[in-house]
Structure 1
Amino acid sequence: MPTYLSPGVYIEDAPPSARPIAGVGTSIGGFIGVVPNNIEMPTRPGSETASYDVAPAGEPQLITSWEEFKNSFGDIRAGNKTLALAIYGFFNNGGTRCWVTRVAAAAGLNNLADALAAFEPIDEITIVAVPGATSPVQHEAIIAHCTTMKDRFAILDSIEKPASLTPEAIRGGTAGEGGTTPTGNSAYAALYFPWIQVFDPSTEPGSIINHPPSGHIAGVYARVDGERGVFKAPANEVIRGALGLERRLSKNHQEGLNPAGINAIRIFDGNIKIWGARTLGGDANSEFKYISTRRYMNFLQESIDEGTQWVVFEPNTPDLWQRITRTVEDFLLVQWQTGGLFGETPKQAFFVKCDADTNPPQLRELGQVVTEVGVAIVRPAEFVIFRIQQLTGS
């Protein structure tokens, strides 16, 4: 309290009882792909080509449009085709912002450790994709990165042409002595099958080619997040730019894949749609078997973490506990009002507890303040059942 020595009107800044939490972004991509050290590009239409250097290898570049990607990594050419088509699909499907790291052509995608490590300091990345990385070793590296960071989600590409339509084969496993172990389950990843078909403008004349779907699907994630919210499953959505599929799947095919968390891409009335919403492993991932559940929990955790950093070094008193409680409750109330939390009333949808019970003297002596938060997250209506009864005339 300041000391006043003369009569007058004084204005003081009073700290707010609660500080608003702004939800973090949920659809910022992190892409890794092969691009040679220089790209051959025509100097003008119909003219000879000239080479120019691209962005340094191993250094993530912020890309906010297709034009920016071309300036940093070149237009769609043989050397960068897989990555370029994926980034084009990302922006075409609703993506607005991503970080791109290139690896040199000589290195390929055999060792992703350094490229993934370069993403660690970039806190805003929430989706990670390596278009064309289909081996279990590559998948496990991507999954390990997302699991360790705990604030991002992996979109994985299946084998292009698996030997069979079993979950093991689609996840990269091979049978027989010395066979490859398929990619393991993870609540921080989703795998999509089959590959999509897209137009390849780099050939003369342009042709239709099979292409890994991860970049396009990352754009669908961004589109759904923006239009509905991260709590909405990124499924039953059209993949823009997809002209066909490497193979068509039936309902019977999908019944063998869905429980294992293989998300099918299917054709309905000429529309190519994502027809799966599960994390890799599906039923084995218990409460996190749905993509939207895992990603929404990531969103809540990261938003609350960033929105309560002001608490650090504050006096650990009941007044602080009340301010934390109000801050988190206000944020979760907004989430409930927008449809992300389940319950007819806020009390049914969430609770926040920060008091003497969660902060006993021994914890306060350690400099800790503990807040317990519980939420009821909405889950997708994966199986819609209609019971139809016919009545006979009387």
Structure 2
Amino acid sequence: MAQLKTPGVYVEEKNSFGTSIVANATAVPVFIGFTEKINQLNGEDINNINGSGNVKEPVLVRSMLEYEQHFGKADTTGSIAISEKVDPKTKAKTFYAKNVKDGVTGTYEPGLMYPSVANFFGNGGGSCYIVSIGEYDQFTSLTKAAVDMAYIKKAIEMAEQATLILPTDLIRFGKLDYYNWGTELTNFCQEEKKYFCVLDVIQNAANDPVYDEKDISNYRKNVTPDFPSYAAAYFPYLKSLTTYAYKDDMSNVTLDGHSITTTNNSTIEDVKTFLSTNYINMPPSPFMAGIYSRLDNATGVWTPPANTIPAGVIGPLVPLTNKQQEDLNVSNTGKSVNAIRSFTGRGTLVWGARTNDGNSLDWRYINVRRLFISMETDISKSLETFVFKPNVHNTWVEVKTMIESYLFGLFNDGAFAGTTPAGSYHVLIGVGETMTDEDVLNGYMRVSIQVAPVRPAEFIVLTFSQMIGQ
């Protein structure tokens, strides 16, 4: 209190509580890819972060309306080729979609950014960052060299609340490049220790409902991070409720090689009806990011993101058997792949909760890795207030109390496996426990935290026996 000179009554407020740890957001993804436009809400361009390059600053969006204001709508730059077959007896029309480039039925692949963000929000996502690396019409002209990963990582660092990384749209460059970038981004997650990467296993035939083991082996062979627990992969693609996007004048649609606009109105309406019910097969990662967000908000980041239904999905493209999932879930390589399966009477379910480090007893499960990322981020940020404070007993007590209070809150919420606080976590700090006198002289304050995280009941074994009636 200031020196008192004037007679009267003075009130002095004292803090009853010490410094507290603030829990940060846990499921805010960064989507990387191409967009229709790249504008601020005032109409100005979003700034490049690599000079004359194509990597833009991250923009936080909280809804599809906000996304469209900044980045426009779905990709209509591709040509949709429609073939028509008429039954000679019934005269009924049947339409088929083809990709003009390769002529293979049903392989039209538009830009994935817009439908990825839409399905993120559709599965419970709250907010996300968009890092645009170009407009739709630039995709064909930009080579993989234009995907400047150094600046993309810089853009991710600029996204202050980001915790998840989704390079889904980069799948269109091909599996080898996508897997190389996935490896680099996973290592980046470990370096920063505050991100988790959600990846997809690319299917060689994106519309082929047949299981091909080569898809899995290609992923395991080419995704080779030093610290694989910072990523998870999902398979197969999903038959989504995302429909083909076409221009208002249908100028990007052809019917049997001819412009759709030259046909009669009834045929145009038939084609529109076909396109409105012809759905795109989507990689599962954006659906999973939304599920992460939904479960984090409902229960907590320690909740395994499995045994839950993805929204906006007809079903998995490839029906998997128990035998096929055995190799996905448990592999000698350790690179577990999480299956999405369809079960009679239950619908489509996420049926795996492992990181790419499936052989690690510590970091096998997604919820464990993400819980530790969350705790490390929250505690590290709060400890910044203690930099340059006296490295003495009173400070250590304050730090220990602050961390224990934070962990007690997590314990009450169900984040730990122990039945009591003492059986769930320990916090150690001080000379003789975590530091030596030399550490203090050198300016080091060392804190040791041990926790018992919740792990999923992945295998439930029921044992039955008969007893003799009495």
Q: Which TM-score band applies after superposition, normalised by the shorter structure? A: 0.7 to 0.9
Tell me how far apart the structure 1 counterparts of residues 58 and 143 of structure 2 sit (CA, whole Å). Answer: 16
- Aligned partner of 1:71 in structure 2 is 69
Match of 2:228, SS state, is: coil
- Aligned partner of 1:96 in structure 2 is 126
- Aligned partner of 1:153 in structure 2 is 196
Counterparts in 2 of 1:297 and 1:169: CA distance versus 1, 3 Å: same
Residue 129 in 1 paired to residue 205 in 2? no
Please report how far the alpha carbon of residue 286 of structure 1 lies from its aligned counterpart in structure 2 after TM superposition: 3.0
- Runs of 5+ consecutive residues of structure 1 not aligned to the other structure: 40-51, 174-180
Residue 241 in 1 paired to residue 345 in 2? no
Structure 2 residue aligned with 1:197, among 239, 244, 247?
239
Tell me how far apart the structure 2 counterparts of residues 109 and 210 of structure 1 sit (CA, whole Å). Answer: 24
Q: What code does the residue aligned with 2:353 have?
A: A
Counterparts in 2 of 1:10 and 1:364: CA distance versus 1, 3 Å: farther
- Aligned partner of 2:347 in structure 1 is 271
Contact 1:167 1:262 in 2 (8 A): no
Please report how far the alpha carbon of residue 292 of structure 1 lies from its aligned counterpart in structure 2 after TM superposition: 0.4
Tell me how far apart the structure 2 counterparts of residues 29 and 246 of structure 1 sit (CA, whole Å). Answer: 25
**1:262-298 C-alpha deviation (Å, 9 max, x unpaired):** 1001012362211100001312x33001000000000
**1:175-206 C-alpha deviation (Å, 9 max, x unpaired):** xxxxxx45456000000000111231415322
Structure 1 residue aligned with 2:212, among 157, 164, 167?
164
- Runs of 5+ consecutive residues of structure 2 not aligned to the other structure: 48-53, 78-109, 206-210, 247-271
Equivalences for 1:219-298 in 2 at 5 Å?
Answer: 219-260=290-331, 261-269=336-344, 271-283=347-359, 285-298=360-373
Structure 2 residue aligned with 1:340, among 406, 410, 415?
415
Contact 2:417 2:453 in 1 (8 A): yes
Q: What code does the residue aligned with 1:244 have?
A: G
Match of 1:87, SS state, is: helix
Counterparts in 2 of 1:38 and 1:309: CA distance versus 1, 3 Å: closer
Tell me how far apart the structure 1 counterparts of residues 375 and 445 of structure 2 sit (CA, whole Å). Answer: 19
Q: What code does the residue aligned with 2:438 have?
A: Q
Counterparts in 2 of 1:300 and 1:349: CA distance versus 1, 3 Å: same
Counterparts in 2 of 1:160 and 1:386: CA distance versus 1, 3 Å: same
Q: What code does the residue aligned with 2:307 have?
A: N
- Aligned partner of 1:386 in structure 2 is 462
Number of equivalenced pairs:
374
Please report how far the alpha carbon of residue 35 of structure 1 lies from its aligned counterpart in structure 2 after TM superposition: 2.6
Contact 1:89 1:219 in 2 (8 A): yes
Percentage identity across paired residues of the two chains? 27
Contact 1:26 1:225 in 2 (8 A): yes
Contact 2:58 2:159 in 1 (8 A): no
Counterparts in 2 of 1:297 and 1:355: CA distance versus 1, 3 Å: same
The TM-score normalised by the length of structure 1 is 0.87
Match of 2:455, SS state, is: coil
Match of 1:19, SS state, is: coil
Residue 350 in 1 paired to residue 425 in 2? yes
Tell me how far apart the structure 2 counterparts of residues 242 and 73 of structure 1 sit (CA, whole Å). Answer: 25
Tell me how far apart the structure 2 counterparts of residues 331 and 248 of structure 1 sit (CA, whole Å). Answer: 44
The worse-fitting range, judged by mean Cα deviation, of 128-137 and 298-307 is 128-137
Q: What code does the residue aligned with 1:309 have?
A: E
Contact 2:183 2:223 in 1 (8 A): no
Residue 117 in 1 paired to residue 154 in 2? yes
Counterparts in 2 of 1:346 and 1:161: CA distance versus 1, 3 Å: same
Counterparts in 2 of 1:371 and 1:182: CA distance versus 1, 3 Å: closer
Structure 1 residue aligned with 2:452, among 356, 359, 376?
376
- Aligned partner of 1:87 in structure 2 is 117
Tell me how far apart the structure 1 counterparts of residues 36 and 74 of structure 2 sit (CA, whole Å). Answer: 12
The worse-fitting range, judged by mean Cα deviation, of 26-35 and 132-141 is 132-141
Contact 2:38 2:46 in 1 (8 A): no
Counterparts in 2 of 1:384 and 1:109: CA distance versus 1, 3 Å: farther
Tell me how far apart the structure 2 counterparts of residues 127 and 164 of structure 1 sit (CA, whole Å). Answer: 28
- Aligned partner of 2:249 in structure 1 is none
Please report how far the alpha carbon of residue 75 of structure 1 lies from its aligned counterpart in structure 2 after TM superposition: 1.6
Structure 2 residue aligned with 1:309, among 377, 381, 384?
384
**1:222-278 C-alpha deviation (Å, 9 max, x unpaired):** 001011100011111111011122211111110111013110010123622111000
The worse-fitting range, judged by mean Cα deviation, of 372-381 and 382-391 is 382-391
Please report how far the alpha carbon of residue 5 of structure 1 lies from its aligned counterpart in structure 2 after TM superposition: 6.0
Counterparts in 2 of 1:94 and 1:109: CA distance versus 1, 3 Å: farther
Please report how far the alpha carbon of residue 384 of structure 1 lies from its aligned counterpart in structure 2 after TM superposition: 1.1
The TM-score normalised by the length of structure 2 is 0.74
